[in-house]
């Protein structure tokens, strides 16, 4: 079965926080793309909620990059063996946030330039 995703995914563990209304959860990502990410967390979040997410590279147990803060929407939240797997879609990105996300993905992609054609189709 061929993967029909709009954006390539990068399997990476990032420090992640979701702030949706009065709910906040933190955990680690499973993967990320220009469209969103999947994370594992100990708490659940409401599905369909507008939220703010913070992502940071993990250098060691106590060292992280600066957080990249982006607007998003929770897409799904599934309980799995004592934790929750949460799907998040980036939404409402302005040009500045899109640029920061592209730099972040460029770093994960080994320094390749972002695909401008892909951004034009969104």
Region 14-22: mean pLDDT is: 93
For the domain covering 10-111, report its CATH number. Answer: 2.40.10.220
Q: Is the dihedral of CA 45, 51, 52, 58 positive or negative?
A: positive
pLDDT at 108: 77
| Residue 3 pLDDT class (50, 70, 90 cuts) | low
CA 84 to chain centre: 15
Q: Convert the pLDDT of each residue in 38-60 to its tens digit.
A: 999 999 999 999 999 999 988 88
The pTM of the full predicted model, rounded to 2 decimals, is 0.81
| DSSP states along 83-107 | EEEEEEEE-S--HHHHHHHHHHHHH
User: Domains of the chain: which residue ranges?
Assistant: 10-111
């Amino acid at each position: 079965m061929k993967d029909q995703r709009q954006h390539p995914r990068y399997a990476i563990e990032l420090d992640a926080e979701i702030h949706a209304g009065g709910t906040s959860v933190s955990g680690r990502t499973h993967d990320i793309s220009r469209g969103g990410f999947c994370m594992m967390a100990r708490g659940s979040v409401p599905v369909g909620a507008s939220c703010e997410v913070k992502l940071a590279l993990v250098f060691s147990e106590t060292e992280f990059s600066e957080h990249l803060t982006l607007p998003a929407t929770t897409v799904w939240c599934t309980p799995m063996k004592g934790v929750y797997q949460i799907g998040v879609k980036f939404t409402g990105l302005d040009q500045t946030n899109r640029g920061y996300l592209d730099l972040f993905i460029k770093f994960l992609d080994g320094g390749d330039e972002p695909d401008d054609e892909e951004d034009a189709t969104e």
